[in-house]
Amino acid sequence: MKIIVQKYGGSSVADTQKIKAIARKISDRLDGGNKIVVVVSAMGKTTDGLVRLAKEISAEPDPRELDMLLTTGEQVTAALLSMALRGSGIGSVSLNAYQAGITTTKEFNEARIKNFKKDKIFKFLETNDVLVVTGFQGVTDDGELTTLGRGGSDTSAVALSAALKADCEIYSDVDGIYTADPKIHPAAKKIKYITYDEMLELASTGAKVLHSRCVEIAKKHRINIYCASTFSDSEGSYVVENTIDQPVVTGLSVMENQTQVTITNLELDYSLVKTIFEDAAREHLNVDMISIINTGDTLNISFTIIEEKKKHIDASLKKMLKHLKGWNVNYHSGYAKISVVGVGMKSSYGVATRFFGALGDTPIRLVTTSEIKISCLLEDRYKEKAIKSLIAEFKL
Amino acid sequence: MKIIVQKYGGSSVADTQKIKAIARKISDRLDGGNKIVVVVSAMGKTTDGLVRLAKEISAEPDPRELDMLLTTGEQVTAALLSMALRGSGIGSVSLNAYQAGITTTKEFNEARIKNFKKDKIFKFLETNDVLVVTGFQGVTDDGELTTLGRGGSDTSAVALSAALKADCEIYSDVDGIYTADPKIHPAAKKIKYITYDEMLELASTGAKVLHSRCVEIAKKHRINIYCASTFSDSEGSYVVENTIDQPVVTGLSVMENQTQVTITNLELDYSLVKTIFEDAAREHLNVDMISIINTGDTLNISFTIIEEKKKHIDASLKKMLKHLKGWNVNYHSGYAKISVVGVGMKSSYGVATRFFGALGDTPIRLVTTSEIKISCLLEDRYKEKAIKSLIAEFKL
């Protein structure tokens, strides 16, 4: 018995016609004696609609109740898809987080999957050819409903693949992974094979195809992910452990709405650095592109956050550093972060030279690098030109 | 600690403004140190919308998957109401069927409540002043989601009252129980007290305020039910065990879309009667107003069903009686059943005389009676006149 895990995103299940089309697609895949475990998102803009209802009730909806609300979205899709499959004579059953035994940690709105009750899943597979599981959600050991946050359904699918030791196919309205966002840069090319590490860098630097949490799990459990379009037969992209004949740079990603936070003239005490970033983590503020300069008698710290968190970090910094004198903080918004990623960088020289060469005289505000990535921060108005030059330079 | 169970129907929670108004209403009731367990229906026309989606998938949606679909409706309301309560600083928690431990039998779409896990409810009440429980649904011992069928949320509320030994308040857009349907007969009067038996007869003969299943449970566990309008302070109606100073007739109800089924010339074998009604029960066909006449050498059987089941019963009869000869079946549709109900009938004479006197020369097709009820079947075109005469005769 070969098990395949498939995941269908919100736009793929936006209406009942599409759900019926997916039922046919699944039915075709059963022919070889496969069993299919399908993970579904909420239909179209359902989750947005539910969030809007919550905001009508309260500007800051209670996180526990928000998860009770949001988890209904995927259950609707799962029930309808299983209904369509049963209507075509296929043995199918829809399962919510309780029924599938998806246990998570206790953080509402951003829980992490701890475990799948595999026995339950295998038991259901004995009597059914297809299981339709609600993505994006789980249940704590206390029976509380949780959601996994952004990209949660992808994470559900890959975690399920890991538990069942099955390949994972992720279907959406995008037909694969591209060297740059094809909606903005039509010249971008589809990547056939990409490594986990490259995909992780691309995902964490702004590419929206797969969420980094889901790639992390795939990497840990060596699950091959296939990303393709739901309603097209064109071949998609594979996320795998190793690729042969690796280009130096595989892809480019862009993250907008960046604010640069610069703290200057801070007293020379490195424990302050620890305090600042620990506090940011506790407040769930994602800081990025950290750069620290020791001027000899003071510390200058610079990092980026997304624009909407500016007030939040400002309040946090002022509270934390209020007993100190002489320091300053300033904020520059309207920046974009551009990253190029490729495992080939590890074994190639001169990538940085080519990178900065392509950018020419564009004023760069911050630079960070990893073994397989170079990122730079620049004003929005220089973004388009910079991306074009990098795509040309690295033949993306 | 006094516990009150309250139930709010679909039109009472139709939008977020109404949900917030209910949160305020609940909050006011907490003042006396009460704890409140609230049972909610799905918002407005949500359930209809979900059924429409299911019908787009399949003309006859799979019953199990239909319940997976429909149960999401009440969870949305419960989450939003609890969110509104928490937003006002009230300790509240929403609970779905799993979390509240509402176990039912296994019949999808028409399950019956078996049990509430009282310990769970009391545990939640230790740390919360309000619990918001999803009505209309439960979970089987195997973890399958079920719904309770028509009037299911009322049933959930009364069953919960029975488990917690609490009074039950049912709020809707109707401000009480009337002697006849006030939407059709504006002269109908509000009843302050009505007995379980009267309410049962009214409910089972067409009154829509409370479903008979919920009144049965109330009667069995002696739970007082208070029915009132959600957004008005006018006093509602009480369903209780005994009332003092009982009028002979308490109320009148009407059931439309009735079809009379008449089987004539059936061979004189009473086991056939048993077979016919057993089969109808197995097929979930509600038959009513049964009348059987032994002509000496044949049996004539007449009964009513709702019009939409005509084809269904016809197929069933033809299959069941195909080995017999000489019998005939015919159907007359477009009938209405009018019933008058009152425990006072038990101790009063001449009620039947007054009933038939009021109807005058109206052609009556069938009559059935119980200790506290008289029902008659007549053509739709005589309905209005008959109702007016009965309301006048019994001062309803």
**pTM flag (> 0.80):** no
Q: Which residue of B has its CA nearest to A21?
A: B57
> How is residue A84 written in tokens?
């369509």
Count CB pairs under 8 A between chains A and B: 110
| Local confidence band at A75 (pLDDT 50, 70, 90 cut-offs) | very high
A291 contacts chain B (CB < 8 A): no
* B280-306 per-position pLDDT tens digit: 888 778 888 888 887 778 888 888 998
Instruction: Encode burial over A181-212: b for 16+ CB neighbours within 10 A, e otherwise.
Output: beeebeebebbebbbbbbbbbbbbbbbebbbb
* B249 or B27: which leads in pLDDT: B27
Q: B252-393 — its CATH code?
A: 3.30.2130.10
| Local confidence band at A206 (pLDDT 50, 70, 90 cut-offs) | low
* B69-105 per-position pLDDT tens digit: 999 999 999 999 999 999 999 999 999 999 999 999 9
* Locus of tokens 């949900």: B19
**Cα–Cα distance between A273 and A19 in angstroms, integer?**
51
Q: Which of A67, A76, A92 to mutate to test binding with chain B, by most B CBs within 10 Å of its CB?
A: A76
Residues of A in contact with B79 (CB under 8 A): 54, 65-66, 68-69, 72
Residues of B in contact with A80 (CB under 8 A): 53-54, 57, 65, 69
B98 contacts chain A (CB < 8 A): yes
Q: What rounded mean pLDDT belongs to chain A?
A: 89
Assess whether pLDDT exceeds 70 at residue A246: no
Q: Which of B65, B67, B96 to mutate to test binding with chain A, by most A CBs within 10 Å of its CB?
A: B65
Whether A54 and B78 lie within 8 Å, measured CB to CB? no
- Give the β-pairing of B102-104 and B145-147: unpaired
pLDDT in the model for residue A347: 67
Mean pLDDT for the stretch of residues A289-305: 84
Find the DSSP H helices in chain B. 16-29, 46-57, 63-87, 97-100, 118-127, 152-164, 196-204, 212-221, 271-282, 310-320, 351-359, 380-393
**ipTM attached to this prediction:** 0.75
Closest CB to A83: pick one of B58, B144, B145. Answer: B58
- Looking at residue A10, its amino acid is G
The CATH 3.40.1160.10 portion of chain A extends over 3-173
B82 contacts chain A (CB < 8 A): yes
Compute the nearest-CA separation of B55 from chain A (Å): 10
pLDDT in the model for residue B288: 84
Domain B3-173 has CATH 3.40.50.720: no
B16 contacts chain A (CB < 8 A): yes
B53 contacts chain A (CB < 8 A): yes
* B114-163 per-position pLDDT tens digit: 988 888 899 999 999 999 999 999 999 999 999 998 789 999 999 999 99
- The kind and range of the H/E element at A212 are helix A212-221
Q: Which residue of B has its CA nearest to A87?
A: B58
- Looking at residue A243, its amino acid is T
Distance set, CA B138 to CA A73, B154, B388 (Å): 19, 13, 42
Assess whether pLDDT exceeds 80 at residue B308: yes
Closest CB to B83: pick one of A16, A57, A79. Answer: A57
* B161-186 per-position pLDDT tens digit: 999 999 999 999 888 898 888 877 78
**Cα–Cα distance between A129 and A4 in angstroms, integer?**
11
* B349 or A210: which leads in pLDDT: A210
Mean pLDDT for the stretch of residues B350-371: 83
- Reported as half-sphere exposure (CB side, CA atoms, 13 A), residue B393 has a value of 22
pLDDT in the model for residue A211: 84
Q: Is B35 exposed, middle or buried (0-12, 13-18, 19+ CB in 10 A)?
A: buried
Compute the nearest-CA separation of B173 from chain A (Å): 22
Residues in contact with B273: Cβ distance below 8 Å, sequence separation at least 6, in sequence order: B292, B299, B301
Strands (DSSP E) found in A208-365: 225-229, 237-240, 251-267, 288-294, 298-306, 328-341
Closest CB to B83: pick one of A62, A80, A99. Answer: A62
A94 contacts chain B (CB < 8 A): yes
Q: What share of chain B is helix, strand, coil (3-state, %, to 5)?
A: 40, 30, 30
Q: What rounded mean pLDDT belongs to chain B?
A: 89
Whether B65 and A72 lie within 8 Å, measured CB to CB? no
Compute the nearest-CA separation of B58 from chain A (Å): 7
A285 contacts chain B (CB < 8 A): no
Mean pLDDT for the stretch of residues B365-370: 83
pLDDT in the model for residue A125: 94
| Local confidence band at A66 (pLDDT 50, 70, 90 cut-offs) | very high
The length of chain B, given as a count of residues: 396
Q: Which of B22, B55, B72, B85 to mutate to test binding with chain A, by most A CBs within 10 Å of its CB?
A: B72
Whether A76 and B53 lie within 8 Å, measured CB to CB? yes
Compute the nearest-CA separation of A63 from chain B (Å): 9
pLDDT in the model for residue A345: 77
Q: Which residue of B has its CA nearest to A56?
A: B16
Closest CB to A76: pick one of B69, B78, B82. Answer: B69
In the stretch 18-47 of chain A, residues with CB closer than 8 A to chain B read 19-20
Mean pLDDT for the stretch of residues B333-346: 85
pLDDT in the model for residue B80: 98
Whether B79 and A86 lie within 8 Å, measured CB to CB? no
* A347-369 per-position pLDDT tens digit: 667 788 888 888 888 888 888 88
3-state secondary structure of B265: strand
pLDDT in the model for residue A91: 95
Assess whether pLDDT exceeds 90 at residue A99: yes
| Local confidence band at A242 (pLDDT 50, 70, 90 cut-offs) | confident
CB atoms within 10 A of CB B348: 14
| Maximum mean pLDDT: which of A274-283, A301-310, B47-56 | B47-56
Compute the nearest-CA separation of A153 from chain B (Å): 18
* A170 or A288: which leads in pLDDT: A170
The CATH 3.30.2130.10 portion of chain B extends over 252-393
